[in-house]
């Protein structure tokens, strides 16, 4: 009885949050309402919907031994208590995605993003993570690709692998672009990030050679050195001799990151990748907790309107209407196909009891969604004028604060040149104008929150702390992404010429690493040289590819349910699948075919050709831009084609099973009684 009342109260609190968000009129609204609506919804969804999924749909059974118990080897199959594994899984799925997407989508106002992040996660994203975790746990921790192959056939497995490889390329390129836009002409940022390389090498040596396996010690030393580097960055930035050494232009940074990516993926893992991974995990968890605490302490007023005029598709940060583009811009945080790879990787091999999968799979994704809500708060607490000054492309704004202010005024937001100059000086930068990509505006918002909660006057420190924290784990994603891309390329190339498939053969490592880096490096350089800054073309491409991977994962999930004899519950994955397909295919078609050159790749190519013909654009440069547009169009078409093929192959399988032409046989590992008591 008391419980019912408590849950009624939670539900009412969430509803009150939504009510205020929907009906509020006025200049600002407190972030408290947004957080109340989100957390209330999460709690109700976790208590009721995830329980329904766990008991009715999946039939989680604690009498059944998990792979971690049956195959325990102390290394990858390790029974792990559920809160520890929750933390581990969360650290693995949370990255730059949930931080950047909501910041970019804030150009539509705070409401569209909030609705999609919160409703999307409870009905789609968390369901996807949970179903894949469940399926993999019942199959000894098999990967998404292997499950696609076993459930639907070898062709689907191969297509899933191609989809994963393609998204890795786009993901790496766009994340690297976010780093470039945050670090260009910023000696403080470049110095701090450059320091992470020697710090990681030291940690690697410490953990492997000097004091083997003393990972905590090494990480503590690493974090301390990183903080010192952050403080030292200020002196570098103000020193007349050192500052020019670390002031790098966009293209220089891009080539440096490409070179770094290649070296990192060729070096042994223990040297660079593994220590950086630890460093970024600790920084990530620590900073997210700090940010949550800061937001709760400050409860900042949100200055962005609920809905801006840019829902009509004329937004400066990226083109396209609120439908479908809000839903692909925010991928991670609402639903992210990439999570299916983690949920079918290390995590299922560590689950101690089947019922733990509910907290880890569903709950872990709710937590990531909350990170996205915090990022949205950090972006929308800025003055809208400041937000657009940081995020709109330089080509739109003009180079000076005065020019930018007049452009932004024309959009209906007030801001003064003095305000922009003062803000840049406050965070220790020359300028913040035109730093598209989300990281800088998020960092300004975070600096505002953290200095408000933990120490006024440290704005510059917190700003660079936030930049460092984002760049650090983006570069770690880049390292791991390149390695994974290399392994997949080796596997594919092994079919053509067997020696290339040997993962430890050095010539093969060099060739396939170079191939992977060249692929994302090309898109990165294209983005850096794009007159509109690159984010506006690459981020939608990333959103589309990530959501299409989610569609593949949901297809596998549906197949698992139908073959497991749960066809009457297949709607739990079919509904999100239908929504994700609708959104991404609409967005994909618009990006390729729309007549507006700001939106469509092909019409932009045509408009560029017309400019060249009229003599207003250099022919060489024009040819390059046209090639890039066509390449982006082809990439989007390939993503869509691959997904539709997977959907078709899966649907065929479902129908055959439902018509009883094919036996509904689950490929689960047979039941073994657990040895755990109670």
- DSSP codes of every residue in 295-312: HHHH-PEE-S-SS-GGGG
576 Cβ partners below 8 Å, 6+ apart?
A: 123, 124, 127, 128, 335, 554
How far is the C-alpha of 99 from the C-alpha of 492, rounded, in Å? 33
For residue 7, state whether it binds another protein (rule: CB under 8 A).
no
For residue 76, state whether it binds another protein (rule: CB under 8 A).
yes
Strands 29-30 and 301-302, sheet pairing? antiparallel
The only residue of 65, 92, 367, 594 in contact with another protein, by rule CB under 8 A: 92
Query: Given the structure tokens 């089947």, which residue do they identify?
Result: 354
For residue 93, state whether it binds another protein (rule: CB under 8 A).
yes
The only residue of 355, 480, 611, 667 in contact with another protein, by rule CB under 8 A: 480
Tally of CB atoms within 10 A around 459: 19
The only residue of 255, 270, 323, 411 in contact with another protein, by rule CB under 8 A: 270
User: Whole-number minimum distance, CB 311 to another protein, in Å?
Assistant: 26
The residue range among 207-215, 402-410, 428-436, 624-632 that interacts with another protein, by the rule CB under 8 A, is: 207-215
The residue range among 48-56, 63-71, 94-102, 312-320 that interacts with another protein, by the rule CB under 8 A, is: 94-102
User: Whole-number minimum distance, CB 557 to another protein, in Å?
Assistant: 18
C-beta of residue 65 within 8 angstroms of C-beta of residue 673: yes
Determine the longest span between alpha carbons in the chain, in angstroms.
79
For residue 295, state whether it binds another protein (rule: CB under 8 A).
no
Q: Which is nearer to another protein, 241 or 504 (CB)?
A: 504
Q: Which of positions 210-229 make contact with another protein (CB under 8 A)?
A: 212-213, 215-216, 219
The only residue of 39, 177, 272, 332 in contact with another protein, by rule CB under 8 A: 332
How far is the C-alpha of 214 from the C-alpha of 220, rounded, in Å? 10
Element (H, E) at 29: strand 29-30
Element (H, E) at 412: none
User: Whole-number minimum distance, CB 412 to another protein, in Å?
Assistant: 33
Specify burial of residue 280 (Cβ count, 10 A radius: 0-12, 13-18, 19+): buried
For residue 205, state whether it binds another protein (rule: CB under 8 A).
no
How far is the C-alpha of 40 from the C-alpha of 632, rounded, in Å? 40
User: Whole-number minimum distance, CB 203 to another protein, in Å?
Assistant: 12
The partner residues of 29 in beta bridges, in order of sequence, read: 302
C-beta of residue 436 within 8 angstroms of C-beta of residue 317: yes
How far is the C-alpha of 352 from the C-alpha of 90, rounded, in Å? 17
Binding mask 142-161 for another protein (x = CB under 8 A): -x------------------
Two structure tokens written together for 216: 């905590």
The only residue of 31, 96, 230, 375 in contact with another protein, by rule CB under 8 A: 96
Residue 499's alpha-carbon distances to 131, 503, 512, in angstroms, are: 37, 9, 12
For residue 88, state whether it binds another protein (rule: CB under 8 A).
yes
The residue range among 71-79, 369-377, 580-588, 600-608 that interacts with another protein, by the rule CB under 8 A, is: 71-79
C-beta of residue 132 within 8 angstroms of C-beta of residue 365: no
The residue range among 10-18, 75-83, 182-190, 393-401 that interacts with another protein, by the rule CB under 8 A, is: 75-83
For residue 282, state whether it binds another protein (rule: CB under 8 A).
yes
Handedness of CA 333, 532, 254, 163 (dihedral sign): positive
The only residue of 158, 243, 266, 285 in contact with another protein, by rule CB under 8 A: 285
How far is the C-alpha of 391 from the C-alpha of 436, rounded, in Å? 4
For residue 339, state whether it binds another protein (rule: CB under 8 A).
yes
- How many Å separate Cα 425 from the centre of its chain? 30
For residue 552, state whether it binds another protein (rule: CB under 8 A).
no
User: Whole-number minimum distance, CB 336 to another protein, in Å?
Assistant: 7
Q: Which of positions 160-189 make contact with another protein (CB under 8 A)?
A: 168, 171, 175
The only residue of 91, 351, 450, 572 in contact with another protein, by rule CB under 8 A: 91
Q: Is cis: bond before 324, omega within 30 of 0?
A: yes
The residue range among 40-48, 331-339, 610-618, 664-672 that interacts with another protein, by the rule CB under 8 A, is: 331-339
Q: Which is nearer to another protein, 89 or 464 (CB)?
A: 89
Least Cα distance to 105 among 382, 383, 315 occurs for: 315
Q: What count of Cα atoms within 13 Å lies in the side-chain half-sphere of residue 228? A: 8
The residue range among 29-37, 474-482, 528-536, 642-650 that interacts with another protein, by the rule CB under 8 A, is: 474-482
Site for another protein, rule CB under 8 A: 72-76, 78, 80, 84-85, 87-88, 91-97, 143, 168, 171, 175, 207-209, 212-213, 215-216, 219, 269-270, 273-274, 277-278, 281-282, 285, 331-332, 336, 338-339, 341-342, 345-346, 476-477, 480-481, 483-484, 487, 503, 546
């Amino acid at each position: 009885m008391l419980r019912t009342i408590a849950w009624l109260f939670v539900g009412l609190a969430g509803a009150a949050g939504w009510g205020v968000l929907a009906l509020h009129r006025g200049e600002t609204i407190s972030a408290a309402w947004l957080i109340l609506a989100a957390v209330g919804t999460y709690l109700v969804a976790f208590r009721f919907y995830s329980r329904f999924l766990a008991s009715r749909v999946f039939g989680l059974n604690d009498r059944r031994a998990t792979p971690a118990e049956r195959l325990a080897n102390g290394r990858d199959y390790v029974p792990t208590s559920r809160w520890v594994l929750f933390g581990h899984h969360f650290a693995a799925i949370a990255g730059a995605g949930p931080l950047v997407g909501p910041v970019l989508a804030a150009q539509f106002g705070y409401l569209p993003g909030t609705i999609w992040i919160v409703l999307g996660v409870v009905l789609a994203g968390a369901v996807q993570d949970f179903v894949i975790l469940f399926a993999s746990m019942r199959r000894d921790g098999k990967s998404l690709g292997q499950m696609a192959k076993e459930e639907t056939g070898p062709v689907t497995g191969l297509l899933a692998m191609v989809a994963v490889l393609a998204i890795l390329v786009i993901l790496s390129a766009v994340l690297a672009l976010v780093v470039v836009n945050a670090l260009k002409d910023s000696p403080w940022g470049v110095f701090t990030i450059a320091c992470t390389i020697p710090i990681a090498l030291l940690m690697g040596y410490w953990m492997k050679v000097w004091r083997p396996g003393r990972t905590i010690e090494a990480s503590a030393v690493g974090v301390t050195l990183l903080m010192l580097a952050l403080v030292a960055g200020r002196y570098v930035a103000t020193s007349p001799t050192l500052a020019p050494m670390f002031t790098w232009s966009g293209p220089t940074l891009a080539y440096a990151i490409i070179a770094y990516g290649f070296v990192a993926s060729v070096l042994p893992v223990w040297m660079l990748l593994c220590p950086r991974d630890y460093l970024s995990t600790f920084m990530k968890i620590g900073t997210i907790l700090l940010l949550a605490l800061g937001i709760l302490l400050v409860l900042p007023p949100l200055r962005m309107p609920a809905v801006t005029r840019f829902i009509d598709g004329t937004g400066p940060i990226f083109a396209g209407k609120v439908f479908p583009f809000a839903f692909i811009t925010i991928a991670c945080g609402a639903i992210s196909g990439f999570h299916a790879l983690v949920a079918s990787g290390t995590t299922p091999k560590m689950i101690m009891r089947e019922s733990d999968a509910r907290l880890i799979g569903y709950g872990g994704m709710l937590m990531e969604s909350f990170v996205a809500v915090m990022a949205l708060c950090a972006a929308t607490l800025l003055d809208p004028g400041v937000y657009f000054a940081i995020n709109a492309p330089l080509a739109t704004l003009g180079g000076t604060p005065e020019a930018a202010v007049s452009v932004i005024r024309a959009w209906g937001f007030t801001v003064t040149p003095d305000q922009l100059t003062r803000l840049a000086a406050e965070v220790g930068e020359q300028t913040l104008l035109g730093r598209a990509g989300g990281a800088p505006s998020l960092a300004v918002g975070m600096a505002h929150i953290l200095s408000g909660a933990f120490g006024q006057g440290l704005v510059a420190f917190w700003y660079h702390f936030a930049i460092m924290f984002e760049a650090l784990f983006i570069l770690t994603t880049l390292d791991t992404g390149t390695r994974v891309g290399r392994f997949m390329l080796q596997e594919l190339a092994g079919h053509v010429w067997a020696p290339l498939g040997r993962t430890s053969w050095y010539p093969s490592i060099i060739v396939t690493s170079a191939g992977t880096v060249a692929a994302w490096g090309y898109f990165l350089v294209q983005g850096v040289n794009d007159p509109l800054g690159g984010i506006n073309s690459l981020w939608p491409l990333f959103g589309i590819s990530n959501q299409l991977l989610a569609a593949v994962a949901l297809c596998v999930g549906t197949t698992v349910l139908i073959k497991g004899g749960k066809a009457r519950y297949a709607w739990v994955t079919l509904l999100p699948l239908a929504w994700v397909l609708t959104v991404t295919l609409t967005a994909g078609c618009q990006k390729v075919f729309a007549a507006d050159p700001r939106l469509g790749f092909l019409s932009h190519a045509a408009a560029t050709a017309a400019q060249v013909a009229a003599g207003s654009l250099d022919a060489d440069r024009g040819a390059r831009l046209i090639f890039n547009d066509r390449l982006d169009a082809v990439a989007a078409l390939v993503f869509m084609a691959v997904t539709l093929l997977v959907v078709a192959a899966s649907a065929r399988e479902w129908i055959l099973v439902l018509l009883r032409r094919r036996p509904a046989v689950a490929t689960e590992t047979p039941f073994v009684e657990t040895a755990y008591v109670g």
